[in-house]
Structure 1
Amino acid sequence: MKVADKVRSPCVSICALDDQDMCVGCHRTGDEITRWSSMSNEERLEVLQKVAERERKALI
């Protein structure tokens, strides 16, 4: 698979984990950030769905 075919990271270069081990910039957990480069596209899409839900909850 070409690099261009991989699901891109949601990183926004605001890298800081909060008390729940969640990045305040991209809303991924420390584990998700660490494992991102070895994840399949399907796993990455699952993480992005979780990220979207976390972002919605953060706005409430």
Structure 2
Amino acid sequence: MSTPERPVLSPCVNICALDDDDICTGCQRTVEEITRWSRMDNTERRKVLELCHERAKSSGLVWMIGAKPQN
């Protein structure tokens, strides 16, 4: 018998403020993603986390060490 998978944790960092595009400046989730989080399964949550990471990279919040600079 397999152990049930633990829920993917929320990326919330308690810096809850929306930017002009309604993206949270703390966790990089959209308002819809934040409100739906508790009803998402782990697959959906992982997709949202990937989107959050991409948003953070695009906005310069995450630097990719060893990545080639985009011109």
For normalisation by structure 1, the TM-score amounts to 0.90
Structure 2: segments with no counterpart, 5+ residues: 62-71
CA RMSD of aligned residues (A): 1.8
More helix by share: 1
Structure 1: segments with no counterpart, 5+ residues: none
Aligned to 2:17: 16
How far did 1:18 drift? 1.0
Which structure has the bigger radius of gyration?
A: 2
Deviating above 4 A after TM superposition, structure 1's stretches of 4 or more consecutive aligned residues are none
Higher relative contact order (CA 8 A, sep 6+): 1
Aligned residues between the structures: 59
Aligned to 1:47: 48
How many angstroms apart in 2 are the aligned matches of 1:58 and 1:18?
Answer: 11
Q: What is the CA deviation profile of residues 18-56 of structure 1, one whole-angstrom value per residue up to 9, with x for unaligned ones?
A: 110100000000000000000000000000000010010
